[in-house]
A and B are shown apart, each in its own frame.
Chain A
């Protein structure tokens, strides 16, 4: 998918974007960065087709697009399960399949409050989970997420990172906005900086990439001190796997120190894998 000379000006206002050229490549994760009001969200809305550019063209947008807005509206009375079923049907699924996919995604994202709670009764973080789930109810060829980590809890951070990697691994193009360099660095392949309406794309230097080790641990029988100091041991994220185990992604170079610390705290190591390669976190990981 390509954007050529894209500009946007809302009625009566100054241009928000000017002459943006951007290629979204299947299998690649692109981060859009910039300050507040720099035009990141507008660029994302143009990418997904929620708004038309005032000038320029958008070429070869795929049919299956997933869009996660910055703020998911909270005044719907539909339940989360019913909403996802409707969104699945809009994207061509049958009712049973849409319900199954939606429920599976809500389980994976650990929606607190239940899938049968009306959307207006959910907290900001749980609404964000529904927003992410509706974008994934059909595997998207283009996934666009506007500040997707905002409001998500600790466990969902890890799941979202996995989801982004999975969409890219299946050949989908992913574009997200975030203003935190640490998140951008471990998630994106390329970075598009938006400043005063102009966009410039830079590749992330391969030298910045670090190995990520995935460690599966069993907690101690008696509650003890926390797992390990995430800042000290290069932990990217940690989540419960639902079966009493905890999955931790940690920078490869720190994995020995992390494992030693965890064992000393009474944790038991179930499995250690080299999961993927990511970019070097700059501020001690995702959190």
Chain B
């Protein structure tokens, strides 16, 4: 599995398809978190969580699209397990998302914010993890493996992102973003709610991975 993750990461980094979503994430960070040295940090995590959903979905769909179907067949034959290819994509996207999330979480400390607490940072890290899982799930089910036509694939991804981010009260992301936006300093209750959202996001990710694998196998 480590060999497959290394190969998938090499394909992604050589293709440079990770760059546009990563640059969008960093640009949004500059926009929303430029005052992270002085202001309360939890409200900063709210928009960054929403951005992380979009960027993870984008990275996932791009990474799946970068490998030619014939190349994918060779990789699957050499690996011996076609589902492992999807797991490798998920691992690589989550690792990339974790690096980007790490930038947001350490930024207040770097900018000298002395009001930030460990609870605040743990809440932010969990919220960004939930966002990365949900974004990866959306990227998978709208990728080329499930929807062959690029136009329909993009439309489906945009539609799902709008629904997930803007439908009031739809777990796990919308209520979490609203909660973070209203919170000045994280409490144990906020952390617990965030952790619950992360659990829901992980379950959604697993379900979407199963759906994607079943559809992709039938299509082949």
Q: Which A residues have a C-beta under 8 Å from some C-beta of B?
A: 11, 45, 48-52, 63, 65-67, 69, 71-73, 75-78, 82, 86-87, 89-91, 131, 134
Q: Does any Cβ of A come within 8 Å of B74's Cβ?
A: yes
**Residue numbers in B under 8 Å from A76 (CB-CB):** 11, 14, 68, 71
**Residue numbers in A under 8 Å from B71 (CB-CB):** 73, 76
Contact B76 A49 (CB under 8 A): yes
A-B contact pairs, 23 of them (CB 8 A): A11-B218, A48-B77, A49-B77, A49-B82, A50-B76, A50-B220, A51-B220, A66-B77, A67-B74, A69-B70, A69-B74, A73-B71, A76-B68, A78-B10, A86-B6, A87-B78, A89-B3, A90-B3, A90-B4, A90-B7, A90-B75, A90-B78, A134-B74
Q: Kindly list the 9 A-B residue pairs having the minimum CB-CB distance in the complex, ordered from nearest.
A: A73-B68, A89-B3, A50-B73, A77-B14, A86-B7, A51-B220, A67-B77, A90-B78, A73-B71
Contact B3 A52 (CB under 8 A): no
**Residue numbers in B under 8 Å from A72 (CB-CB):** 70
Encoded as 1 (CB less than 8 Å from any A CB) or 0, chain B from 80 to 111 comes to 10100000000000000000000000000000
Count class of interface residues, chain B:
20 to 34
The minimal Cβ–Cβ distance linking B106 to chain A, given in whole angstroms, is 31
Contact B15 A77 (CB under 8 A): yes
Further pairs besides A86-B7, A87-B75, A134-B74: 12, Cβ < 8 Å: A11-B218, A11-B219, A50-B77, A52-B217, A69-B70, A73-B68, A75-B68, A76-B71, A77-B15, A78-B11, A89-B7, A90-B7
CA–CA, A76 and B75, complex, Å: 13
Contact A67 B73 (CB under 8 A): yes
